[in-house]
Amino acid sequence: MKQFFSISIICLLVACSSSKQSTSNSDRLPELSYSQMIEDHDTLVSLIKQTSPIVYFNKEVRGIDFDKHAKSLRKQINKKTTTKEFLQIVDKTLNSAQDGHTNRLGPALLDNMKKYGIPLGLVKGIDSTDTENSYKYDRYFNKEVYTNLDLNLMYTSGEYYNLLPFSYQEKNYPTSMKLISCNGIAIHKFVNDLTELASPLRWDRTNKRTYKENFYRHSEVYKNGRLKLVFEDKASKIYELNIIKNDKVNFLEERNWKYGYNSSKDSLITHYFDKQGIFYAKLPRMEEHLGDSINRRLGNIIQKNKVNAVVIDIRGNGGGSDYTYSKVLNKIVKDTLRSNLILGINWSPFTRNYFEYNRDSIQKNSLFTFKVNVPTLKEPEMFYIKMRNNFVVPDSVKYPFTGKIYILQDRFIYSASSSLASLAKNSEQLINIGETPDLLGGLQRSPFVLMLPNSKVIFRVEPQIDFTDNKTAEDTFKNNVEYPVPYSIDELYLRTTTKENVFGKEFLYNHDAMFKKVLALENNQ
C-alpha cells in the first residue's frame, strides 16, 4: 500500500516557484509528421481517459466534457499543422481535464523527476535523456503563448476586483473596482468558456460558477492583440481598460503581501497570547522539521503557561508530507484522528498493467473491492481502496492540553494541508475556520508521469479520487469549512498594503477576521 499513500518528491513542489533551466544552444523544436501528431494526440487522450477519474467527475458534477473537447481539438490537426500549433493543441487537451495534477511538467518538476523520480523508480518508461524537448516546450510557451500581464485581480464574494490602484497609458484606475466584462462578454461567462485555455478553473460552489484570477495569461484571449476590460468602481463609475498584449500596468501602491501560496522563503512563526492562553503557529509548508519545531515551541510554552487553545494557521500552505501535521498534533489530540477511506482508481488496461492487478488479485485482497456503499460516479469502472486510516495517533507522552485546536485556512491550501483541514469534519476537538480551496480535495496520490511517443511531451495525471463520507457525488469535492470566514476586498487590500507583518501578533489580534473568530469562539467556551 505504500505506493498509494507515499507522497512523491515530484509532487512536493506543486505550489513552489519554478526553477530556472539554463537556455540551451538551440531552442529549435522537433519536426513532427501528421501521422506522428495524430498518434501522440490519440495516445494523450487514451491515457487521460484510462488514468484520470477527475475527468469523469468533471463531466458528471461540473458539466465539463473532456471527451467533447478532445475530439474537437483532434480535428484541428491537419497536414499543415506546425509543431507549435500541435503543442498548443496538446496543452489545451491537458487543460480540458481541469485538474491541478494533470498538466505538462515544467522545469522544476522535470529537474526533480531526473534527480529523484527516475533513480528511485517512481517514474516508469522515461529516461533523463527524454527530457530535452520538454524544457524547450516550456520556454516556447513562456515566450510565445503566455503573457506577463499582472492585474492583481482578486475573486471574493462571487466577483472579481482589482486589489491595487494602477495606471496605464497616463490614466489612473482606483482600487477595488469590480470587473464587469472582458472583450464585450460578461466576465463570468467569459471565464466559464476558458476550459481549454486555463487550468484548473476553480469552482465557487456557493455562486455556482468557475473562476480564475489570472484568466488573461493565455495570448488567445486577446483580440487583435488587445484585451478590453470594463470595471465599475464603488461609486458606480465605469472604467475601460484596453491593454496591449505583453504590456504592463503601473501599480500606484506597493504590494507588501501576496494572497496566494507560500514560497520556500516563508518561515515558521509562533506566538503565545498570554491573556487568552492561545498558542499560535503559522505553518508555511508541510515539511516535517517544521512540525518538530512547532512541537518543541509548544512544549516550551506549555511547561510554563496555561494553554487553552492551539491555532494552526495553514493559509497559503501548498502541502507536502502528512507526517508534518501528525508531529504537530500527536501530543495534544485527545483521540486518534482517523477516517474510513474509500478511494477510487480507474479499472483500465493501463492501470491494471501499471499495478499488475487482475480481477482475482483485487477480490483476494481485503483492502480492495469493486463495490462500495457510498455514492461514487456513473463511469468509469473503478476498483476501490477501502480501509480505516489513522492520520494522527496520540503520543504516549502527551502535553497537559484538553482545549480546542483551530485550523485557519484560505483558498491556497493543497495536498497534505487540505488533508489536515478535512480531518476537522470528524473531530470535535479540531475546528477549521476560513475559506474553501474551491478545488477538488480529498486524499490523492503521486500522479502518473507519462510521455508521448513522438513529441516526447512529458506530462502527469492524477489517478485517484476520494469518495470518503460521500452522501452525493458532488461531496467528492471535499474541502468543507466549519466556520466560513471569507476575506472582503477591503480586508485583502489592508493585508496587501500594510507594512505590518500580517502574521504578526498585533495584526492577528486587531485586524485578522479568522483569528478574531477564534477569539469569539473561545470567549463562548
Average pLDDT rounded to a whole number, residues 460-474: 96
Dmax (CA) of the chain: 75
The per-residue pLDDT for range 164-192, each reduced to its tens digit, is: 999 999 999 999 999 999 999 999 999 99
DSSP 286: B
Report, as an integer, the average pLDDT of 312-318.
97
Closest by Cα among 518, 452, 453, 135 to 311: 518
Q: Quick: pLDDT tens for 111-163.
A: 999 999 999 999 999 999 999 999 999 999 999 999 999 999 999 999 999 99
Task: Give the residue carrying C-alpha cell 487568552.
Answer: 276
d(CA 457, CA 130): 9
d(CA 10, CA 462): 13
- Please state which CATH number belongs to domain 153-251: 2.30.42
3-state secondary structure of 44: helix
Q: Which fold has domain 2-145?
A: Histone Acetyltransferase; Chain A (1.20.920)
**Fold matches, 2-145 and 153-251:** no
Structure confidence at residue 11 (pLDDT): 42
Give the DSSP H/E element, type plus range, for residue 159: strand 159-162
Cell triple for residue 113? 523527476
> With contact defined as beta carbons under 8 Å apart, do 182 and 228 qualify?
yes
Paired strand residues for 238 = 232
pLDDT of 480 reads 85
What are 499-518's pLDDT values in tens digits?
999 999 999 999 999 999 99
Does this model's pTM top 0.85? My answer is: yes
Smallest Cα–Cα separation from 329: which of 352, 342, 312? 312
- Indicate the domain borders of the chain: 2-145, 153-251
Work out whether the CA dihedral 8, 12, 18, 20 comes out positive or negative: negative
- 234-239: average pLDDT: 98
The string of pLDDT tens digits covering residues 349-394 is 999 999 999 999 999 999 999 999 999 999 999 999 999 999 999 9
Tell me the pLDDT tens digit for each residue of 7-51: 343 343 333 434 444 444 458 999 999 999 999 999 999 999 999
Helix, strand, or coil (residue 357)? coil
Q: Flag whether pLDDT at 283 surpasses 90.
A: yes
Give residue for cell 516508469.
124
Check residue 26 and give its pLDDT: 55
Task: Please report the pLDDT score of residue 415 as a whole number.
Answer: 82
Q: What is the mean pLDDT of residues 401-407?
A: 97
* Pair type for strands 458-461 and 448-451: antiparallel
- Neighbour count for residue 362 (Cβ, 10 Å): 17
